[in-house]
Structure 1
Amino acid sequence: MASTSGTSLFSYYGSNVSNSGRQLPVTPEELEMFAEQEMITIVPNFSLDRGSVLYCIGDCYGPFQANSQIEVPIWLALTLRKRNKCTIIPPDWLSKDRLTNMLAEEKESVHFFQPLPFYYVEISKLLFQDAVDAFGENYLEVTGLIESIRKVRYHKIESGLRKVTHAVEIKLNNLAAAECNMIRLLLNGTLDHFHQLSKNNKAWEESRLASGNMSMPFSGGLSASGF
């Protein structure tokens, strides 16, 4: 079972990447900001005047009726929750049963990623931090399942990239925002290395032609073993 603090989950990419000293293409904080725009269901404990809505920058939400479900952005749900104005209902994919099945399928499918919300890592973090009571007695199990799923998916990504030995097109379906961010970070260093090898090979070719040395050029492929 994962730590209840959720530290490893919130590190997003695992120690191998987070301790590498390389800058992420998009920061975790920026991804969280995007995730806060996703919609979630709440049950308000207040009512506004008939037909009244909340006017916010970019959109308006409502009407709000006590004990009646309504969808609002996560940022608004968390704001109301902190003021004890609503109860947050976790999305279906964050249920214990759904996550248990998803983890089993994730482990079984070596080359396929289970469909999850694009911001599942960030949404989980936000709700685990500020809406613990929404999960009731299943909180520890749900956090552990999300952490296990994240680790399995990370391992599949890392294992897949390690098998790349030539410049090829890689197709990965159902990746989340944090996972795409991780791949961009990992590939950035490798592509820079490949570019440097290409420059060195070109310089060697020019030197070989200039000196009249017609020996066979180096033809080794690029290995991704440096990931």
Structure 2
Amino acid sequence: MNNDAIDVLLTQPVPDAIDAQLVSTYRVHRLYQHDHPQQLLGEVGPRIRAVVTGGAKGLSNALMDQLPSLEIVAISGIGTDAVDLRHAASRGIHVTTTPGVLTADVADLAMGLIISTLRRLGEGERLVRDGLWGTVDLPLARKVSGIGLGIVGLGEVGKAIARRAAAFDMRIAYNGRREQPETGYRYEPDLIELARSVDVLVVSASADGGRVLVTAQVLDALGPEGY
């Protein structure tokens, strides 16, 4: 790294491969490791031109305002709800995410949670680990194949979940900002009606709007037998 390297503020640990690439290219300052963060900011804050952070941690306005030379906030993830986009835009600061990187992993996890919950895999595993298998009668689990699945937010993650659900012969319906007839799935513009018509409701919508989607009314419509 030469003396002209750009100063980058790292707010949290990143995977080793990414860390190594950052260190080889930039002058990295680790805010999360510093015992006195304000002292660090006082020393290097004016030189920081980029912040690397995560979707959950983001970057507060207070911290952003301590970085007068900041040009970009690079988020490792797809959520921007922890960054005030209007405030960043008012200062000409770019905010980037990593769309597509975790789509398959999130969709896999959604299917795993559906199967685990309906088939009561967690309860069975605890019985096995506690040496109680065969001594406790577990109620019959819920069938997964063929259920009605409601997806809230048919973006890239929502579509990936739907593709996996189709392999289980699930009846797929969705709610979102707009209808997408090319998908072949049933569109339900009313979220409460969607909840009323399915067995399982999966939320894959962006949190960026900050609006509560699954209200008490939605849960009531899903009913005591819904998930």
Identify the structure with the greater strand proportion: 2
Q: Which has the larger radius of gyration?
A: 1
TM-score, normalised with respect to structure 1: 0.25
Select the structure with the greater relative contact order (CA < 8 A; seq sep ≥ 6): 1
TM-score, normalised with respect to structure 2: 0.25
